[in-house]
Amino acid sequence: MLTRVIPASCLALLFSSCAITLAQDTNMARALRLMSETPLIDGHNDLPWQLLKQFNNELNEVDLHTLNTTHTNIPKIKQGRLGAQFWSAYVPCETQYKDAVRQTLEQIDVVHRMCQKYPETFQFVTTSQGIRDAFRANKTASLIGVEGGHSLDSSLGTLRVMYKLGVRYLTLTHSCNTPWADNWLVDTGSEPPQHNGLSPFGKQLIAEMNRLGMLIDLAHVPVSVMNQVLDMSQAPVIFSHSSAYTICEHKRNVPDDILLRVKATGGIVMVNFYNDYVTCSHTANLSNVADHFDHIKKVAGATIIGFGGDYDGVTRLPEGLEDVSKVPNLVAELLRRGWTDVEVKAALGDNLLRVMAEVETVSGTLNNRPPDDVPIPYEEVQNPCRTSFGYRNAGAVHSLSTLVLLLALALQAGFTLTP
């Protein structure tokens, strides 16, 4: 009988490999247990934008059980243990001054129809309690966030109508200035500031969002707007999909001094997974994303952290977080790094639930205040696609703008103007 002797060095390597695998399995099992107890609430997913781009919102042509051209589908949602999702109602800045409101309403509509088509998976909700109820029913709570203030066409009435349709956060800008707020590109120097942050109407809008109970999203705004909103908002704010500036010095990320202000005001920063915001390069991995979680926790504590993957809104995602199904990998990594169960549950959903509940409470204290019906000054929004109905003494300005538009069209058509 032959006996094979295994060298001690090989045995040590074998035992070490088994120990690592066991630790990984233990962390994943713990992650899945925590995700079964607390809903994973993701702050930003652009699946509705993909439904528009790929299918023109014709949901009858789509099966979310088998769709494989997106980061998000129903099997991936279930594998990723997605407890609640803010679906983004996003339309590009090119729609500003044109059909932004219509396009945004259609994105709100497609979220509602998605929930209606797949009621066994999605439950449309508008409150913190609604998220808890959907989680207990083993469904993904579905909320709406409008990504970009240009979607309002500078109208408080439009803001209120969108709230009634279920919108629960507004990202103040996307990547263009609005007539009342500067966007994040101002901080890069690639665009000039127009308002030094918020205009007077922009400040009106913040107050009206507090009154309504709509979350104020500071992703995509410059530092000037971050500070102005943190100064004046009576309710905590969110960054629905932004990461830590100290780890990756991209102007879409949040500086340390703002992290501290978010902590002081009870808000939340939901970490973005886009490679360019994670490592400031085209490549990244899961560990790099966890570095942002660690840094925010170190600076401001675990009570301001959340998940804001930006799935289906970005083109590059970290190795290990390629789609919605992979998020448990990140939860397990945080546990491996020594995060406690309480800290992980805070980041998963408890923080956002707290913020949402506080926004609802502030709204309740303001419900006796009448809606703000003072419109933005006409001269701040005057353009060839806008009429002046309702504005006093704006008729002459409107007539002049119409004349200018007609003259421009005539010249474009090659007509000769004669005296």
Q: Indicate whether 297 and 393 sit together in one domain.
A: no
Q: Is the pLDDT of residue 408 over 70?
A: no
Say if 169 falls within a structural domain: yes
Check the CA dihedral 142-147-153-157 and report its sign: positive
Is 418 a domain residue? no
Residue-number span of the structural domain to which 397 is assigned: 382-413
pLDDT in tens, 148-159: 999 999 999 999
Residue 13 inside a domain? The answer is no
Whole-number Å distance between alpha carbons of 334 and 265: 25
Mean pLDDT of 68-75: 98
For 246-335, list the strands marked E by DSSP: 268-271, 305-307
Inside any domain, residue 4? no
What pLDDT, in 10s, does the model give residues 100-131?
999 999 999 999 999 999 999 999 999 999 99
Q: Does a structural domain hold residue 67?
A: yes
Residues 341 and 258 reside in one and the same domain: yes
d(CA 14, CA 362): 58
Number of folded domains that form the chain: 2
Whether residues 314 and 355 share a domain: the answer is yes
Pair 265, 395 in one domain: no
Residues in the chain: 419
DSSP-derived pairing of the beta strands 305-307 and 268-271: parallel
Radius of gyration in angstroms for the set of CA atoms belonging to the chain, rounded to a whole number: 24
Give dist(CA 274, CA 278) in Å, integer: 6
| Gap between the Cα atoms of 300 and 326, Å rounded | 26
Regarding whether 31 and 122 lie in a shared domain, the answer is yes
Q: Residue 317: inside a domain, yes or no?
A: yes
pLDDT score of 272 more than 60: yes
For residues 101 and 150, give the distance between their C-alpha atoms in angstroms, rounded to a whole number.
Answer: 8
SS3 319: strand
- Same domain as 229, residue 108: yes
| Catalytic positions, written as ranges | 44, 46, 147, 174, 220, 241, 310
| Inter-helix orientation angle 327-336/286-300, to 10° | 60
Question: Which pLDDT does position 414 carry in this prediction?
Answer: 55
Please tell me the distance from the alpha carbon of residue 400 to that of residue 419, in angstroms, as a whole number: 18
Of the chain, the end-to-end C-alpha distance in Å amounts to: 115
Same domain, residue pair 264 and 230: yes
CATH number for 59: 3.20.20.140
Same domain, 393 and 244: no
Rounded to an integer, the average pLDDT of 274-293 is 98
- In this predicted structure, the answer to whether residue 396 has a pLDDT above a threshold of 90 is no
Same domain, 390 and 337: no
Q: Is the pLDDT of residue 388 over 80?
A: yes
Specify the 3-state DSSP secondary structure of 82: strand
On whether residue 9 sits in a domain, the answer given is no
Tokens found for residue 147 = 């990504």
Which amino acid is residue 67, in one-letter code? L
Residue 44 is predicted with a pLDDT of 98
Express as a percent the part of the chain with pLDDT over 90: 87
Neighbours of 61 (CB within 10 A): 10
Which band of pLDDT confidence, cut at 50, 70 and 90, is reported for residue 345? Answer: very high
Q: Are 274 and 264 in contact (CB under 8 A)?
A: no
Supply the pTM of this predicted model. Answer: 0.90
Euclidean distance between CA atoms 47 and 276, whole angstroms:
20
Is pLDDT at 399 greater than 90 in this prediction?
A: no
Same domain, 180 and 281: yes
Give 13's strand partners: none
Q: What's the average model confidence in pLDDT over 392-403? A: 56
pLDDT of residue 394: 74
DSSP string, 153-205: TS-HHHHHHHHHTTEEEEES-SSS-BTTB--GGGGGTSS--SSSSB-HHHHHH
In this structure, is residue 351 part of a structural domain?
Answer: yes
pLDDT in tens, 321-331: 999 999 999 99
Same domain, residue pair 230 and 82: yes
In this structure, the answer to whether residues 75 and 124 fall within a common structural domain is yes
Least Cα distance to 41 among 308, 241, 285 occurs for 308
Sign of CA dihedral 199, 204, 205, 209: positive
Strands 82-89 and 268-271: unpaired
